[in-house]
Structure 1
Amino acid sequence: MTQSPATDPAPNPHASEDEVRAAYSDPKLANVLYHDWEAGTYDEKWSISYDERCISYATDVFDAVAGERGQPYATAMELGSGTGFFLLNLMQGGVVKKGSVTDLSPGMVEVALRNADNLGLDVDGRVADAERIPYDDNTFDLVVGHAVLHHIPDVQSAFREVLRVLKPGGRFVFAGEPTKIGDFYARRLGRVTWWLTTNITKLPALAGWRRPQEELDESSRAAALEAVVDLHTFDPSELERWALRAGAVDVKAVTDEFSAALVGWPIRTFEAAVPQEKLTVRWRLFAYRAWLRLSALDKKVLAKVLPRELFYNVMITGTKPADPVEL
């Protein structure tokens, strides 16, 4: 495994009050501070794993929008990789041979490289601004990202950078982005669930289900900063237009998760509001199986009758022209 270059900044998981205050007017700083703070617990928070469960999820999502053409890709970069969830599971699923993780957060790059090392995968990493990607033109066969575009101030600039570092004919795939309508109902479901859970667990009979107050306070502060780092929601058609304007061809956006989001967001919020030891293997299996069943309902039934704008997640793919025009 290749480590991040020594010139990359070090993680800063314990930002000062002055830094946090400054972050409210600087979304890129907010993203660094927030994700450096979350890096060490991010996989646990979002139930991320590197086993068959998440390998299947990553490869299914990839195939749903991009198909199986071109696999395996010789080289791939993940933009805004976080802990490496999408790229590392795609590599384990045989979609990618060699990978590069990039993120604005040094802490996330550090954890992603550690995860890759533990899995024995051929991965290097860089701290990177999506609007100025630190790789040469025509470097990668594939660029991927999961839940990253909504953190980037200038998404169209990021698309242009992605096309620059792709080889002619190379593909990009971004998934896990919130739609405008999906974000509206998901956030409200989350807020109601948080309020109900944190208030009901104040009852003496349910005291064992209440997280310590300092942890709840910390989660509330993180949620406040999350309002700074989440910059966009997307209309699928608008996202397609942005990619086309950046110079991409064969652009297509698809959506998923409607019933799965209506149930999944309350479940995830409840899990964040109670002590982790209360979330037994039985509970986690219940939550996962419920998500699987509802996702199947969304794909097999609801996607055929409901407008794509109603679904929570939007995924987009496109390619760099084989004979690239000036970008």
Structure 2
Amino acid sequence: MAADPTPNPHATAEQVEAAWQDPKLANVLYHDWEAGTYDEKWSISYDERCIDYAVGRFKAAAGDAGPYKHAMELGSGTGFFLLNLMQGGVADKGSVTDLSPGMVEVALRNAKGLDLDVDGRVADAERIPYEDESFDLVVGHAVLHHIPDVQAAFAEVLRVLKPGGRFVFAGEPTKVGDFYARRLGRLTWWLTTNLTKLPILDTWRRPQEELDESSRAAALESVVDLHTFDPTELERMARAAGATGVRASTEELTAALFGWPVRTFEAAVPREKLGFGWAMFAYRTWQRLSWVDEKLLTGLIPREAFYNVLITGTKPE
């Protein structure tokens, strides 16, 4: 890591302005900025709850759970997907990669705390810094929509996979899902930040400087989110890169309609106001709605209407 860029946790207004013209710079600034608090912001943990979630997403996409000898995560962030997959027995050894030095730093720290066999590199998904045929598995969660050239990234994924190796990407926004999720999020933010101006609710209002900081982060977030996907188009991209056995599936409709307002509300109020009871209510409700989506709505509603798309495929033998 010595040769990697130094993490920059506080982007200036001038840097944010420059990032509007450079999505890769925006990704580095935004994710360096978020690295130290990212797990807390998204309620990420490395316990049974998130292990079950990660392994569940993997099985939903791939139909199996390994084990794979050596897995690499593309756009790892703090390591949420790969580290929980490793704890769930999907992979024995791991490599985390991200364009953000700050995220790689936190991911490696998390891996060390979990006593997992993981190395890490700062990496551009369009030019992955590993040799051909290095990995048995490549995974990613909520990463493809940040990459300017998704087709080039698929080609690189296939290059670093061993023959017969698999890739699994989850947590990517569909075009329809992004449409309703963003509007729900904006409405929830507006309602919460305005209602908490009332004297009777002022203890629920975050300090103005924190709200300003969140607004600056949101400005960068609108730059780093480059794509939404149609599942069929995503399948075509993977096949065009040379993948076989390509299959996209979708999940979360009612769960997303509930989850996005909840996450936005949590970001708009002081965290100390929301205790363990709230966390369990939000999680259990999301679980129940995910069951409804999977068991009752999948197959009845077009897959394009769900929020998340997952995709898997393999490198030809």
- TM-score interval, smaller chain: over 0.9
Which string of whole-angstrom CA distances, capped at 9 and with x for unpartnered residues, describes residues 12-42 of structure 1? 1123333222111000000000000000000
Aligned partner of 1:315 among 304, 307, 310: 310
Superposition deviation, residue 9 in structure 1: 1.2
Aligned partner of 1:268 among 243, 250, 263: 263
Partner of 1:144: 139
In the alignment, structure 1 residue 205 sits paired with structure 2 residue 228: no
The two structures, once aligned, show a CA RMSD in angstroms of 0.7
**What is the SS of the residue equivalent to 2:71?**
strand
Partner of 1:61: 57
Matches within 5 A, 1:149-298: 149-298=144-293
| In structure 2, distance between residues paired with 1:274 and 1:198 | 8
**What is the SS of the residue equivalent to 1:305?**
coil
Superposition deviation, residue 118 in structure 1: 0.3
**What is the SS of the residue equivalent to 2:57?**
helix
**What is the SS of the residue equivalent to 2:197?**
coil
Which amino acid is the alignment partner of residue 32 of structure 2? D
**What is the SS of the residue equivalent to 2:82?**
helix
Which amino acid is the alignment partner of residue 12 of structure 1? N
Partner of 1:325: none
Superposition deviation, residue 67 in structure 1: 1.3
Matches within 5 A, 1:4-15: 5-15=1-11
In the alignment, structure 1 residue 27 sits paired with structure 2 residue 23: yes
Which string of whole-angstrom CA distances, capped at 9 and with x for unpartnered residues, describes residues 274-296 of structure 1? 00001110000000000000000
Aligned partner of 1:45 among 41, 44, 61: 41
| In structure 2, distance between residues paired with 1:29 and 1:6 | 20
Partner of 2:13: 17
| In structure 2, distance between residues paired with 1:102 and 1:60 | 22
Superposition deviation, residue 262 in structure 1: 0.4
Q: Structure 2: where are the runs of 5+ without partners?
A: none
| In structure 2, distance between residues paired with 1:16 and 1:181 | 33
| In structure 1, distance between residues paired with 2:89 and 2:188 | 38
| In structure 2, distance between residues paired with 1:9 and 1:126 | 11
| In structure 2, distance between residues paired with 1:196 and 1:19 | 30
| In structure 2, distance between residues paired with 1:7 and 1:169 | 33
In the alignment, structure 1 residue 98 sits paired with structure 2 residue 85: no
| In structure 2, distance between residues paired with 1:75 and 1:8 | 23
**What is the SS of the residue equivalent to 2:226?**
coil
TM-score (ref. length: structure 2): 0.99
Q: Percent identity?
A: 78
Superposition deviation, residue 68 in structure 1: 1.3
| In structure 1, distance between residues paired with 2:12 and 2:225 | 21
| In structure 1, distance between residues paired with 2:103 and 2:213 | 19
Partner of 2:81: 86
| In structure 1, distance between residues paired with 2:211 and 2:7 | 24
| In structure 1, distance between residues paired with 2:254 and 2:292 | 8
Aligned partner of 1:114 among 103, 109, 113: 109
| In structure 1, distance between residues paired with 2:219 and 2:226 | 13
**What is the SS of the residue equivalent to 1:270?**
helix
Superposition deviation, residue 7 in structure 1: 1.2
| In structure 2, distance between residues paired with 1:282 and 1:294 | 18
Which string of whole-angstrom CA distances, capped at 9 and with x for unpartnered residues, describes residues 41-85 of structure 1? 00000000000000000000000110116x110000000000000
- Bigger drift between 8-17 and 143-152 goes to 8-17
Which amino acid is the alignment partner of residue 293 of structure 1? R
Superposition deviation, residue 298 in structure 1: 0.3
TM-score (ref. length: structure 1): 0.96
Superposition deviation, residue 123 in structure 1: 0.2
Which string of whole-angstrom CA distances, capped at 9 and with x for unpartnered residues, describes residues 241-261 of structure 1? 000000000000000000000
